[in-house]
Amino acid sequence: MYNRGIRGATTVEHNDRDEIYAATEALVAEMIERNAIDPETVSNVWITVTHDLDAAFPAVAVRKRAGWDFVPLMCALEVPVEGSLPRCIRLMIQVNTEKSQREIRHVYQQGATVLRPDLAGQK
């Protein structure tokens, strides 16, 4: 068994609590679906936001999922590099799995597809 990181990112139009929650929920849902994630296999989830998003903790949206109430979650600020993608939410779900690195399906939604165009269309 290996501990693998599954990356995901999305963007929102506004620094709005409900929009942050909705975008995070949509991102997590697709990450779970694409990778058949059982919360019992998740060791932790790292969540970062860009400095322009301070209306909500995205972890709240993850925590609302059934079975995710005991998964360790951590929110942090992304490094504020000049010219970086604004209003961006990034997740890294670390799971214990038998899958190889090539079998992991990363998810990039909305404006975040520019971060990894090579993976954004991955199914």
Q: Which residues are catalytic?
A: 7, 63, 75, 78, 90, 108, 116
Enclosing H/E stretch for 17: helix 17-35
Total residue count of the chain as it appears in this document: 123
> Do residues 45 and 74 make contact, with C-beta atoms less than 8 angstroms apart?
yes
| Distance from C-alpha of 47 to C-alpha of 40, rounded to nearest angstrom | 19
Cα 65 to chain center, whole Å? 14
Enclosing H/E stretch for 22: helix 17-35
